[in-house]
Amino acid sequence: MGYTMVILFVLAMVYAYFWYRVHGYRRYCTSNVSLRGKTVIVTGGNSGIGKETAIDLARRGARVILACRNPNLAEEAVKEVSKRSKSTNVTYRHLDLNSLESVRNFATGFLEEEERLDILVNNAGITGGYPYYNMVPPKRTVDGFEYVCGTNHFGHFLLTLLLLERLKKCSPSRVVMVSSNYYEHIQTAIDFKPKSPDGLRYPGLNDYAYSKAANVMFTRELARRLKGTGVTAYSVHPGNVNTNIIVENNPRHVWISPIIWLLLLSERTGAQGSIHCAVDESITDLSGSYFENCQPRPLRSSVVKDDAMCKKLWEVSCQAVGIEDAD
């Protein structure tokens, strides 16, 4: 019995050590800025870090619009966000980022009915496996892009540009792009060939890592073009976040929960980077920067640091979504 207790104690200490290494150094947004009178859009705000971001911004007094694809999940999220933030100014608008038509409809409806846009949080995203766990996601969006890049990059690119004039009108305002450190996997120049033999549009942009690199590159070029307008833009890596997808969808894997809690961040913790970039007043001069753990981080890919490559991505994306490029 004595040896068992010693072993359990040692295991507990080891677990605590690694937990602290993962969670103990995490920074939280410390700004207490009020957003009363401001309007915020959070794409994918019905779950995960998007919902936690929405709760925080609503708690600060903002009018929060959840831009989501699934109406049922969105309506439930509106109730939860409203309850937890104690706000009566949370609503939902339909947005399907894998459809350019849906993006245009969202923007048109928003601009007709809303007077302000102060913060745009481009949070929604997919990896190619989730939320389609144990399912094969579609290969293409309805517009012919590879599904992950079409959703994560092209959809958000069009949305941001369609709302840009309203952001300028309401400046100082911000665009927050939720990216990932997966962008570091892209270390060679992106092939911007328009089509593959089977008709896939821009086949060089074709998976999660490319989509996250595109998020960072888009943010950098956006910040360059918006210099002096009062609109700032930031990309952010939320960390490795536990969204409970594995356990919820696979009850037989519940036994790995302690490992998940050890290695992955909570959704609230993961949302801190987005919240920080949305509200912190000390980062105004850091537009275009990439943030991790509420701090600006140097980029670790020669591709995303290449200004010419960022400009080329912008030009290609304008052509792809059918919007006029104006520098």
DSSP code per residue over 277-310: HHH-GGGGGGTT-EEETTEEE----TTTT-HHHH
Which residue is it, tokens 């910040």? 223
Q: Rounded mean pLDDT of the chain?
A: 88
**Cis? peptide before 238, omega within 30° of 0:** no
Amino acid code (one letter) for 101? E
> With pLDDT > 70 as the criterion, what percentage of the chain qualifies?
81
Given a cut of 90, whether residue 64 has pLDDT beyond it is yes
* 164-171 CB contacts, 8 Å cutoff, 24+ apart: 164/231, 166/111, 166/114, 166/116, 166/117, 167/117, 167/118, 167/120, 167/231, 168/226, 168/229, 168/230, 168/231, 170/39, 170/116, 170/117, 170/118, 171/229, 171/230, 171/231
The Cα 235–Cα 182 span in angstroms is 13
Q: Is residue 38 very low, low, confident or very high in pLDDT (cuts 50, 70, 90)?
A: very high
Question: How sure is the predictor about 5, in pLDDT bands with cuts at 50, 70 and 90?
Answer: confident
Predicted confidence band of residue 26 (pLDDT cuts 50, 70, 90): confident
Query: 71-119, pLDDT tens digit by residue?
Result: 999 999 999 999 999 999 999 999 999 999 999 999 999 999 999 999 9
Q: Is the pLDDT of residue 261 over 60?
A: no
Looking at the chain, how many residues does it have? 327
Residue 248: predicted pLDDT = 47
Residues catalogued as catalytic: 208
pLDDT, position 240: 67
Cβ atoms 168, 228 nearer than 8 A: no
Residue ranges and CATH numbers for the domains of the chain are: 31-321 (3.40.50.720)
247 band by pLDDT with thresholds 50, 70 and 90: very low
Q: Is the pLDDT of residue 24 over 70?
A: no
Per-residue pLDDT at 127: 76
The per-residue pLDDT for 241 is: 58
3-state secondary structure of 191: coil
Q: Which amino acid is at 217?
A: M
Q: What is the pTM of this model?
A: 0.89
The predicted structure's pLDDT at residue 154: 98
User: How many C-beta neighbours within 10 Å does residue 182 have?
Assistant: 17
In this prediction, residues 172-191 reach a mean pLDDT of 96
Q: Which of 235, 237, 217 is nearest to 306 (CA)?
A: 217
pLDDT band at 239 (very low <50, low <70, confident <90, very high): confident
pLDDT at residue 324, rounded to an integer: 85
Q: CA–CA distance from 281 to each of 26, 108, 165, 226, 272 (Å)? A: 20, 30, 22, 18, 15
The predicted pLDDT at position 149 comes to 96
pLDDT for the residue numbered 298:
97
210 vs 12, more confident? 210
Q: What is the DSSP string of 135-174?
A: S---SB-TTSBBHHHIIIIIIHHHHHHHTHHHHHHT-SEE
The average pLDDT across 317-325 equals 93
Instruction: Return the minimum-mean-pLDDT range out of 27-31, 154-158, 254-258, 296-300.
Output: 254-258
Does residue 319 register a pLDDT over 50?
yes
Judged against a pLDDT cut of 80, whether residue 301 lies above it is answered with yes
Q: What is the pLDDT of residue 245?
A: 47
Residues 279-290 have pLDDT tens digits of 999 999 999 999
| Nearest CA among 275, 282, 280, 291 for reference residue 239 | 291
- Among 204, 193, 70, residue whose Cα is nearest residue 146: 204
Give the pLDDT confidence score for residue 131 in this predicted structure: 45
What is the reported pLDDT for 266? 82
Cβ-count burial of 101 within 10 angstroms (0-12 exposed, 13-18 middle, 19+ buried)? exposed
Give the residue-averaged pLDDT of 148-170: 97
